[in-house]
Structure 1
Amino acid sequence: MKNALRTRLAAGLAISFVMLAGLQWLLAGIAIERLLKAQLAQRLERDAENLLAALDGEAGAPLKLDDARVGGEYRQPFSGHYFRIVIDGGDDISSRSLWDGTLALPFAGSERIAQSEAAGPQGQSLWLLSAHYEKRGQSVRILVAEDLSALRAGLREWHLLYGLLTLAVVALVLAVQQWVVRRSLAPLDTLRAQMQALERGERERLDVALPDEIAPLVDQFNTLLGMLLRRSQRSRDALGNLAHALKTRLAVLLQVAESPAMAAHPELQQRMTDSTELMRRAIERELRRARLMGGTHPARRSDLRDAAERLAGTLAILHGERSPDIALDIAADITLAMDAEDLMELLGNLMDNACAWCRSRVRLSVERGGDLKLVIEDDGPGCAPEQLESLSARGFRADETKPGHGLGLSIVRDLVDSYGGALEFGPSPVLGGLRVTVHLPSRMALDAPSPEGVRP
């Protein structure tokens, strides 16, 4: 997932640790190199002091170097160990290892001991130590040098081994880090699964057994969910009470309008009858709209085939004069994440409309693909192509001679819209009449869960 929290966290930690490990490897290499050069300088300084001790001679005579006290490494040509002794007013002595070469005198500063890197014979890179001494009243300057190739080879080997060890540690730490990140973010995966189960209708609330950083948010969500459900229920109860009260008053008005006393005033009687009928329609329409807007609990699940079978039995009685054959092509294990009343309203309007227009056959089927399709078709006369777009318009009636108010398909459209679906009209290629297709999100359809799979 792009910009996923787990990916960003893991990448940030990995980059930080790799940079830290690289910096540590670099600083450790610099420290090791300084330590080795410090040890080399100490060894060169001891050699310079040994060479100073090997300088001897008669009192008042020039200092001479006692070759017997010079180490063998300074006798082997190009051994990588070299010296040069410059005596003020006396000899300039170089080691046999220099062969015909010499060590260039560095700039004479005020320091008694100075160190620097210098070029040696045969392209060797040398670490040079220059020391100033006083012996028997004579100024002595001793240069001692050693080839750096062995030290650098050792450093390269150390860098390689330490780099491999660092990479192994980095790989191990990154693996542990990934495990820790996954384990730390596992509650978010659990929460996502619970949200999906809530959407499918398998749960009624979210668990709060989560880390302290997430639990307050989930608890607030559960509180909000319960509050919305209570508000919706109170709204429906209040509207039911209002409908009952208004319908009672409307019945009284209708009785008055049909009373013998009003028969003497036919115009007034007709106006009262029309007004009460309009009021009744308005009340029923607004009650349906309020129920749709009030929403339902997301955990509600409805058995699609059971609802269709009950409606088929009822419609067969209501339309007994034409005895419609209602065929149901619905799997027995499909449930919908939809309120039972909404499902009955949806199927009831569509199936009733199909039964009212059919000759003898009505078919309800379900197709599952990219989305969920509820298909209701009949073998009636169908609908003119230019009227298809107007079928779901409120108050539209394709045939004014048939009873009805033109509200059924409008209610279906509102229901389908509230669940994020779409309504499609067209000719039925199978039965020849009208085909109504309800497109619903595929996530609303799921197999019926086992009792132990439903958690409160």
Structure 2
Amino acid sequence: MTTRSLAFRLFVAAAAWIVVVLVVAGVVLLSFYQHATERAFDERLHVYLKTLVADIAGADVGDRTAPGAMGEPRFELPLSGWYWQITRLDKPESNGSKSLFEATLPSLADLDIPDEPGGVREGYIKGPDDRRLRAVERLIDLGEDGRYRVTLAGAADEIDSDIADFQYALLLTFTALGVGLLAAIFLQVRFGLRPLNRISGALAAMRAGQATKLPPDLPDEIVPLARELDALVDANREVVERARTHVGNLAHALKTPLSVIANEAGSAPASPLAEQVQRQVVVMRTQIDHHLQRARIAAAVSVVGTVTEIAPVVDGLVRAMEKIHAAKRLKIKAQIDPSLRFRGEKQDIEEMTGNLIDNACKWAISEVAVRADPIQIDGAVFARITIDDDGPGLSPEERAAAGQRGKRLDETKPGTGLGLAIVQDLVSLYGGRFALDEAPIGGLRAMLDIPALQARIGAHIG
């Protein structure tokens, strides 16, 4: 997938949304768990706090800052992280658990922590060994028997440890869930966009002449697109057919007056004017044929799905040239990839290759070789047709001038000098290339690159 592909955009959008949702959900769950862990820890602290309050309320006046056993050994161990402290506010009396080891706990009230309903404060404080503690604090007013502040604290390490374990488990779970969701989104996008690949393949089949319509069994969302594409192809064919009809009408409308002019000039007494008219009529007919041919080919190139097998065309031309040039007893060899097909009409490739083979036969001494192989040009498949002869060949300057319209390098050979120029015009209309070079067998090589289709392209292109 590339950054411009629809699949990439859908996948990235879904992935970004999944990441956002998982992160938000993770933060919310972690916050809930943190609050739940703190509440559970506070419940334990409140149990001990109630025990201290009950001891204070039931003890004699002199023993209210020295309660009995709490039932928790960690209150007896020095700096264990679990502490209690009772401070009388109306007199300088204070006592704490043995675990405090003569240290004191700070007051939550002094830390500006607000009290909750019932006069209880909850929060975090720093213990005697700079250890982080979770503490609860309550004020007790016994009237004439005094006012007391009871503080009970436990090590916050337990809370942090539980939260860290939950965070780790949450991270692993959400990571696995995210990977699973991304994989599901990836498969969903690929599966959901598969009909577009079918349309692409169907359009390629239409261009190759293997189909005339898109497949009907497409998803409902794509059916309107397929219907419009079919209508566009049909409209293209109609436009081309109308253009061909107009071309034929134009040819008939122009050639008939030219024939009349030529006949009148031929029946008139011999004069320089009559000869000039006849020569210009020939030139006009040639130009009309050429430009009408260009118009016809330009229309044919626009038609979707026109293909022609190359091997039968070349074989037919070779047989025809063997008969036409039978007097020279030429050896014409053809080696054509049978799977190659020209993306155009049969008469166009016949005219291009026919002109080149005929030209090679005119100049060859004894041998003409024709070959067609698939090549790639800018990622597209082309057929390279090469025609070699063992004739005298051409110099680089002559090869450059050979394609000029009406240019004949040897007046002893029959022709109008338009053959190579027509080939050049036709191949350019199809987006191909034409070049002349030296042939390995000693004469001239003509190379023609035309758009093609070839199913086993990987097995033939180096």
TM exceeding 0.5? yes
CA contact (8 A) 2:405 2:417 kept: yes
Q: Does 1:383 align with 2:394?
A: yes
Distance in structure 1 (CA, Å) of the matches to 2:341 and 2:374:
13
Q: Which residue number in structure 2 is paired with residue 451 of structure 1?
A: none
Q: Which residue number in structure 2 is paired with residue 453 of structure 1?
A: none
Q: Which residue number in structure 1 is paired with residue 67 of structure 2?
A: 67
Could you report, residue by residue, the CA deviation over 1:201-233 in whole angstroms, capped at 9, with x for unpaired residues?
333333354345543333323222221222212
1:295 match: secondary structure: helix
Q: Which residue number in structure 1 is paired with residue 88 of structure 2?
A: 87
Distance in structure 2 (CA, Å) of the matches to 1:389 and 1:58:
122
Amino acid at match of 1:439: D
Amino acid at match of 1:306: P
| Partner of residue 358 from structure 1, selected from 356, 359, 364 | 364
Distance in structure 2 (CA, Å) of the matches to 1:19 and 1:67:
53
C-alpha displacement of 1:54 = 0.8
Could you report, residue by residue, the CA deviation over 1:49-108 in whole angstroms, capped at 9, with x for unpaired residues?
32111114688x556256346333433444432111112334312122223222123444
Distance in structure 1 (CA, Å) of the matches to 2:393 and 2:412:
16
Change beyond 3 A, Cα 1:75–1:407: same
Q: Does 1:193 align with 2:201?
A: yes
What does residue range 184-263 of structure 1 map to in structure 2 within 5 Å?
184-207=192-215, 209-259=217-267, 262-263=268-269
Q: Which residue number in structure 2 is paired with residue 294 of structure 1?
A: 299
Q: Which residue number in structure 1 is paired with residue 151 of structure 2?
A: 143
Amino acid at match of 2:101: W
Could you report, residue by residue, the CA deviation over 1:92-138 in whole angstroms, capped at 9, with x for unpaired residues?
12122223222123444673322221122444321122211212442
Q: Which residue number in structure 1 is paired with residue 417 of structure 2?
A: 406
Amino acid at match of 2:289: E
Distance in structure 2 (CA, Å) of the matches to 1:187 and 1:125:
62
CA contact (8 A) 1:129 1:143 kept: yes
CA contact (8 A) 1:254 1:273 kept: yes
Distance in structure 2 (CA, Å) of the matches to 1:257 and 1:173:
86
Change beyond 3 A, Cα 1:54–1:163: same
CA contact (8 A) 1:427 1:434 kept: yes
Q: Which residue number in structure 2 is paired with residue 129 of structure 1?
A: 136
Q: Which residue number in structure 1 is paired with residue 33 of structure 2?
A: 32
TM-score (structure 1 length as normaliser): 0.88
CA contact (8 A) 1:132 1:142 kept: yes
TM-score (structure 2 length as normaliser): 0.87
Identity %: 27
CA contact (8 A) 1:208 1:219 kept: no
Could you report, residue by residue, the CA deviation over 1:233-282 in whole angstroms, capped at 9, with x for unpaired residues?
222223223323443443333333222xx12x422321331232122112
C-alpha displacement of 1:180 = 0.6
Structural RMSD (CA): 2.6
Q: Which residue number in structure 2 is paired with residue 416 of structure 1?
A: 427
1:237 match: secondary structure: helix
Change beyond 3 A, Cα 1:101–1:58: closer
Distance in structure 2 (CA, Å) of the matches to 1:299 and 1:321:
41
What runs of 5+ residues in structure 1 fail to find an aligned partner?
A: 449-456
Amino acid at match of 1:383: L
Distance in structure 1 (CA, Å) of the matches to 2:120 and 2:455:
87
Change beyond 3 A, Cα 1:320–1:248: farther
Deviates more, 1:357-366 or 1:100-109: 100-109
Distance in structure 2 (CA, Å) of the matches to 1:394 and 1:209:
52
Q: Which residue number in structure 2 is paired with residue 329 of structure 1?
A: 335
CA contact (8 A) 2:121 2:136 kept: yes
Distance in structure 2 (CA, Å) of the matches to 1:306 and 1:400:
33
Q: Does 1:20 align with 2:27?
A: no
Q: Which residue number in structure 1 is paired with residue 379 of structure 2?
A: none
C-alpha displacement of 1:365 = 0.8
Distance in structure 1 (CA, Å) of the matches to 2:393 and 2:178:
72
1:375 match: secondary structure: strand
Could you report, residue by residue, the CA deviation over 1:183-204 in whole angstroms, capped at 9, with x for unpaired residues?
1111122222223333333333
C-alpha displacement of 1:394 = 2.0
Change beyond 3 A, Cα 1:338–1:146: same
Amino acid at match of 1:240: G
Deviates more, 1:375-384 or 1:310-319: 310-319
Amino acid at match of 1:215: V
What does residue range 437-452 of structure 1 map to in structure 2 within 5 Å?
437-441=447-451, 444-446=453-455
Q: Which residue number in structure 2 is paired with residue 177 of structure 1?
A: 185
What does residue range 37-116 of structure 1 map to in structure 2 within 5 Å?
37-56=38-57, 61=61, 64-65=64-65, 67-68=67-68, 70-73=70-73, 74-90=75-91, 91-108=93-110, 111=115, 112-116=119-123
Deviates more, 1:140-149 or 1:63-72: 63-72
Distance in structure 2 (CA, Å) of the matches to 1:195 and 1:156:
58
CA contact (8 A) 2:373 2:384 kept: yes
CA contact (8 A) 2:300 2:344 kept: no
Distance in structure 2 (CA, Å) of the matches to 1:363 and 1:98:
107
Amino acid at match of 2:172: L
For these two proteins, the number of residue pairs brought into alignment is: 442
Change beyond 3 A, Cα 1:204–1:394: farther
Q: Does 1:429 align with 2:437?
A: no
2:328 match: secondary structure: coil
Distance in structure 1 (CA, Å) of the matches to 2:174 and 2:187:
20
Could you report, residue by residue, the CA deviation over 1:289-338 in whole angstroms, capped at 9, with x for unpaired residues?
10122134331221212111222222333334434332211133432222
Amino acid at match of 2:344: M
Q: Which residue number in structure 2 is paired with residue 153 of structure 1?
A: 161
Amino acid at match of 1:20: V
CA contact (8 A) 1:337 1:445 kept: no
